[in-house]
Structure 1
Amino acid sequence: MNTIDQATNNRIQQWLSAEYDAETVGQVQKLVDDKQETELIDSFYKELEFGTGGLRGIMGVGSNRMNKYTIGKATQGLANYLKQQFPDQDVKVAVSYDSRNNSQKFGQLVADVFAANGIHVYLFKELRPTPMLSFAVRHFGCQGGVMLTASHNPKEYNGYKAYWNDGGQLVAPHDKNVITEVNAIQSVSEIKFDGISENITLVGEDFDQLYIDANTQLSIHPEAVAAQSDLKIVFSSIHGTGITIVPKMLEAWGFKNVQVVDEQATPDGNFPTVVYPNPEEEEAMSMAKRKGQDIDADVVMATDPDADRVGLAVKNHNGEIQLLNGNQIGSLLTYYVLSSKKENGTLKENDFIVKTIVTSNLISDIGTGFGVKNYETLTGFKFIGEVITQVEGKENYLVGGEESYGFLVGDLVRDKDAVNACAFIAEMAAYFKNQGKSLFDVLLEIYETYGFYQEKLISLTKKGKAGADEIKQMMADLRANAPQSLGGVAVKEIRDYENSVSNVLADNSQSNIDLPKSDVLQFITVDGDVISARPSGTEPKIKFYCSVKESLANRSAYEETAKKLEEKVKNIMADIVKD
């Protein structure tokens, strides 16, 4: 096995030692005996690290895989850090898990390690969504929390989202500091696996009502819901946790006509009816969309396995059920919240909204139109949560989101919340239906007022160490040979978030970017098009985002303008995406 470097081989040899249980050693030995070099390299070439969504990887043996030892090590490191940071407190954590294979087992493992370290654990008795974990951290006054989920990744993945005492995912400096603590663990013997049952409190179904009640208090137009209580809603949980709470939330909100996609209602980590359990994918929404077409639904919604992302389809002006993208959903929610609060006179000077740098500028344009401050963060909802926490008590968060189908209305949690978003999408549909408008009608009105934005995301999957190296080289090549035009339109400005520099090409002037460093490149054309490139922090992918804009004279010009913008996006992407 000549292609395996020394550091990787050292990790392999460690995992063949008596520190590890016989089953694990046997699995590693079989890979060695069968000369599975690629699998060995991918499994051992590095330690799993916290990305934009925490610890995430393929399940299996190895330092770069999700298993008893990598999860145990991460939890021991987090426990050590929590005890350091809160030395004079009785440290408490909340732990939940989704429907993925091994999630419940991993959740119990995490609870046991924390409990063995003298930390009190609030462990959900049954699977529940990520936003409920964030809510639990805040409700129980915990110093931290862990959610076992790989979000919308394929079925072979699992993951570990770590939370701080504000209910938000770990951000600087805690994310790096926890990694330092994890890496300081040199032996499996340092991990305390034997839990103390007295330190674990099970969180039961009664907690659901606390979360539901808190959310229903956020309703802006309950009178519209009452008037449209029979709104036709289709919901799919895509075999995930959404089924445990979304129907109950919609019922509590006042909606009486919620049709569940039965074929996808049973939690199942194999996700048997979809290729990927991701509502961003048209295929994953296809069953819900068909049911929506059959019953002439007003809204069709589907959540991912841990119910922090939601996909949406609505009737277009031809009466067809049409999928909306994350930018469109976020823009509708932003417009609904701001216009409603302006209408009822509750907009305040210190209100604000948040979006990420790769999310449509339409959202910030809407905020500006209502005189509301807009924050912009790096990609990852943890950064949105960080802003909410940083200005808490001084400024008032209303709504925020990211193009990857993650939204939050109100500040009950510090993470994206598809359960909360489902309720607000339904209320929004009821409110506008009361005025004789569909959500598609409202979207066209937004385009007429603020401009017609068209966005596209292209993701290239590059698996394993070779893939990670290829992605790194692609970003290096883009920096070394930055395009001067895209789709025949001259590039005006290049923003390099890794080097914190924005460069205007006309006069070569530079300015600093006041955000943490991140491996993202953005190209802004003279037309105002925004094209972004970034490696994913949660998947083996490099992502390219494109956003273009043109005025929409009237709704009758929608199809013509859409085709024009689609062609522009196609030409731009052809210039920057090289597979």
Structure 2
Amino acid sequence: MIYVDPTILERVNKWLTPFFDAKTQKSIKEMIAHDPEGLEDSFYKNLAFGTGGMRGIMGAGDNRINKYTLGKNTQGLSNYLKEQFPDQTIKVAIAYDCRHNSKELAQVVANVFSANGIKVFLFSDLRPTPELSFAVKHLNCQCGIVLTASHNPPEYNGYKVYWEDGGQLVPPQDGEIIAKINSLEYSDINFEAISENIKLIDAEVDDTFAAASIKNGSFNTSEKAKDNLKIVFTSLHGTSITMIPRVLEEAGYKNVTVVEEQAKPDGDFPTVQSPNPEEPAALKIALELAEKQGADIVIGTDPDCDRLGIAVRNNKGKMTLLNGNQAMVLKTHFLLEQYKQAGKLNGTQFIASTVVSTPMMQKLAENYQVIYKEGLTGFKWIAKMVKDFPELEFIGGGEESFGFMVGDFVRDKDAVTATLLACEIAAQKKEASSSMFEYLQSIYKEYGTYHEHLVSLVKKGKKGAEEISEMMKTLREKPFTEIAGSNVIRFEDLQKQEAVTFPSKRKAKLDIPKSNVLIYYTEDGSKIAMRPSGTEPKIKFYMSVSTKSTGDDAVTQLQHKIDTISTHLNIS
């Protein structure tokens, strides 16, 4: 007889009541009979909101993405919206990506909102996540939802919540909504749609968003330069195919080749192991096509079109992938130069990044005398900065995980406008007999060479979550005093909101929200951060090293330092 933990069995039995459909009950009974481990993982906890909303594996259970967990979220959110906006007509925009069940789940979410008397603007087909952020403000909505799991594997889906400013939820509001959701039973969900409360949207929002992307991402590039730039673009089977080719064409870029075998949206992502532009293998087909065509730049986006990978030709003429930090530095430096040349820098501008991204962003801010703001991982924190400081002008900013935001018309990372910006840089540099790669080298000559590396350890399921928790506990309670032969000079524990300086061991309070992140700074200028992922079953280690040297020798030297740190942390 298969043993099932009584507390889990109690949760399971609730899903075997008549409220749940026959298909769901059949799936659960099959797990009881044949997959006790899967049953435990499906029910041992409620699926939680993390860095980028709620993401999880699709299936039956409290710890899965399905119509009941998302329905409960939406019912709780509906109740909260009514409390926050009494005596108002509440409006919500909903978008979804290419993943399996995204369209059906989006309809479920729309139905629940409508059943609660809330007006719904539902995109008629899949759209990029940044367009949803734009639509929330454009349509004067109080809230927005996008059904997506970003770059996670095919079995995942997710639920991201945006507020009326176009940014994702942040504390304490997210906690208030979660409490509202947790106070409900599944039987409290009202699934009975009121069809007149649901309006399909498409062209009008598309047209306005495309025009805004072109306005914010264009910087006086000549038509000749645009014509001379050869671009290879891949959507990696995702939503960007609906917008990026159009925006590039309308912005004047005619020499664009789309990777046809990856152009059709497909939740199985059949041509890649992972639809994540952070991983070089994801852009393999695009890179091969670029070599055949002699292209200048390759752009690849993740399934919901908020991250982009960029490859350009190096000094030896070979396509080379830029990491997220390099791409962020290039785009930020270019924007700052544009502002400077236009005489628009007056001390009221700021750029932004995250605690796990390159320290080089702060160096750029200091050089151009703009304000630098740094937040926790996740673009919701950058969006919050824009919201919290309306007296300041946001120029742009990003994070190491391939996200970037240009200006304030969208309040989330936006691969549509960032793609256009990257092409503007590439076109202008080529016209000046240079390249994006040479541009990056010139920045390194001015600021020193920076090199970053990310190691992610995958720990799946309940056991994996426990292992990650134990690793973070050990790292927190027994911090390193030296890493790879260099003494630690500062240790930050964002959970405790505390920094310790060495050797004095002087403690100081950190003015940053609590988060399960640890950061080390060493004598040789290295920075090492570690945190559990908020969207995947991983613990992540972020390493940043630098040197005043430049060129190939500097890169070799820094890679050796990264390898040494990885070995020291036992994560190589």
Common topology (TM > 0.5): yes
Whether 2:140 is the aligned partner of 1:147: answer no
Which segments of 5 or more consecutive residues in structure 2 lack a partner in the other structure? none
Per-residue deviation, 1:116: 0.6
What is the aligned partner in structure 2 of residue 169 from structure 1? 168
Alignment of 1:401-420 (within 5 A): 401-420=398-417
What is the aligned partner in structure 1 of residue 253 from structure 2? 255
Whether 2:445 is the aligned partner of 1:448: answer yes
Per-residue deviation, 1:55: 0.9
Per-residue deviation, 1:227: 3.4
Residue aligned with 2:352, SS: strand
- Asked if the contact 1:225/1:427 (under 8 Å) is kept, the reply is no
Alignment of 1:217-236 (within 5 A): 217-225=215-223, 227-236=225-234
Per-residue deviation, 1:577: 3.8
Letter in 1 for 2:339: K
Alignment of 1:21-100 (within 5 A): 21-34=21-34, 36-100=35-99
Partners of 2:38 and 2:437 lie apart in 1 by 47
**Structure 1, residues 83-129: CA drift from partner, whole Å, max 9, x if none?**
11111210000000000010011111111110111000000001000
Alignment of 1:378-397 (within 5 A): 378-392=376-390, 394-397=391-394
Partners of 2:278 and 2:126 lie apart in 1 by 23
Which segments of 5 or more consecutive residues in structure 1 lack a partner in the other structure? none
**Structure 1, residues 465-490: CA drift from partner, whole Å, max 9, x if none?**
10000000000111122111111111
What is the aligned partner in structure 2 of residue 103 from structure 1? 102
Letter in 1 for 2:248: L
- Asked if the contact 2:365/2:371 (under 8 Å) is kept, the reply is yes
Per-residue deviation, 1:348: 2.8
Q: Which runs of 4+ in 1 moved over 6 A?
A: none
Whether 2:353 is the aligned partner of 1:355: answer yes
Letter in 1 for 2:11: R
Candidates 521, 529, 533, aligned match of 1:524: 521
Per-residue deviation, 1:578: 4.5
Q: What is the count of residue pairs matched by the alignment?
A: 572
Candidates 499, 506, 509, aligned match of 1:509: 506
**Structure 1, residues 72-92: CA drift from partner, whole Å, max 9, x if none?**
111111111111111121000
Candidates 420, 429, 434, aligned match of 2:431: 434
Residue aligned with 1:239, SS: coil
Partners of 1:365 and 1:5 lie apart in 2 by 54
Partners of 1:289 and 1:302 lie apart in 2 by 10
- Asked if the contact 1:354/1:384 (under 8 Å) is kept, the reply is yes
**Structure 1, residues 270-298: CA drift from partner, whole Å, max 9, x if none?**
00000011000111011111111111211
Identity value in percent = 47
Letter in 2 for 1:573: S
Per-residue deviation, 1:431: 1.8
Residue aligned with 2:49, SS: coil
Per-residue deviation, 1:381: 0.6
Letter in 2 for 1:463: K
Partners of 1:340 and 1:85 lie apart in 2 by 41
Per-residue deviation, 1:440: 0.1
Partners of 1:3 and 1:527 lie apart in 2 by 54
Candidates 539, 543, 568, aligned match of 2:561: 568
Whether 2:545 is the aligned partner of 1:548: answer yes
What is the aligned partner in structure 2 of residue 181 from structure 1? 180
What is the aligned partner in structure 2 of residue 134 from structure 1? 133
Per-residue deviation, 1:552: 2.4
- Asked if the contact 1:101/1:269 (under 8 Å) is kept, the reply is yes
Give the structure-1-normalised TM-score.
0.97
Partners of 1:87 and 1:380 lie apart in 2 by 30
Residue aligned with 2:160, SS: strand
Give the structure-2-normalised TM-score.
0.98
Per-residue deviation, 1:4: 4.4
Partners of 1:330 and 1:227 lie apart in 2 by 22
**Structure 1, residues 43-64: CA drift from partner, whole Å, max 9, x if none?**
0000011101111000000000
Residue aligned with 1:218, SS: helix
Structure 1 pair 215–376 and aligned structure 2 pair: CA distance change class (3 A): same
- Asked if the contact 1:225/1:430 (under 8 Å) is kept, the reply is no
Partners of 1:374 and 1:432 lie apart in 2 by 26
- Asked if the contact 1:224/1:427 (under 8 Å) is kept, the reply is no
Letter in 2 for 1:561: A
Partners of 2:267 and 2:221 lie apart in 1 by 39
- Asked if the contact 1:221/1:431 (under 8 Å) is kept, the reply is no
Partners of 1:478 and 1:2 lie apart in 2 by 37
Per-residue deviation, 1:574: 1.2
Partners of 1:493 and 1:227 lie apart in 2 by 47
- Asked if the contact 2:405/2:418 (under 8 Å) is kept, the reply is yes
**Structure 1, residues 486-507: CA drift from partner, whole Å, max 9, x if none?**
1111111110001000001201
Per-residue deviation, 1:545: 0.4
- Asked if the contact 2:54/2:160 (under 8 Å) is kept, the reply is yes
**Structure 1, residues 297-330: CA drift from partner, whole Å, max 9, x if none?**
1110000000000000000000000001000000
- Asked if the contact 2:217/2:417 (under 8 Å) is kept, the reply is no
Partners of 1:176 and 1:213 lie apart in 2 by 36
Partners of 2:142 and 2:370 lie apart in 1 by 32
Candidates 358, 362, 365, aligned match of 2:363: 365
What is the aligned partner in structure 2 of residue 7 from structure 1? 7
What is the aligned partner in structure 2 of residue 499 from structure 1? 496
Per-residue deviation, 1:172: 1.1
Provide the aligned C-alpha RMSD in A.
1.2
Partners of 2:503 and 2:251 lie apart in 1 by 54
**Structure 1, residues 125-179: CA drift from partner, whole Å, max 9, x if none?**
0100000000000000000010000000000000000111111111112111111
Structure 1 pair 19–220 and aligned structure 2 pair: CA distance change class (3 A): closer
- Asked if the contact 2:228/2:427 (under 8 Å) is kept, the reply is no
Partners of 1:314 and 1:408 lie apart in 2 by 20
Partners of 2:2 and 2:100 lie apart in 1 by 34
Residue aligned with 2:64, SS: coil
Letter in 2 for 1:16: L
- Asked if the contact 1:230/1:256 (under 8 Å) is kept, the reply is no
Candidates 197, 200, 216, aligned match of 2:198: 200
